[in-house]
Amino acid sequence: MVRTQIQLEQDQLRRIRELAHQEGISIAEVIRRAVDQMLQDTEQARRWKKERALSAVGRFASGLQDVSQAHDRYLEDAFDPR
Q: How confident is the model at residue 61 (pLDDT cuts 50, 70, 90)?
A: confident
Q: What is the pLDDT of residue 81?
A: 63
- pLDDT reading at 82 higher than 70: no
Q: What percent of the chain has pLDDT over 90?
A: 55
Residue 63, Cα to own-chain centre: how many angstroms?
34
pTM over 0.85? The answer is no
The arithmetic mean of pLDDT across residues 48-70, rounded, is 84
Domain limits, the chain: 7-55
Question: Which runs of consecutive H residues, i.e. helices, occur in the chain?
Answer: 10-23, 27-56, 67-79
Q: Per residue in 11-34, pLDDT tens?
A: 999 999 999 999 999 999 999 999
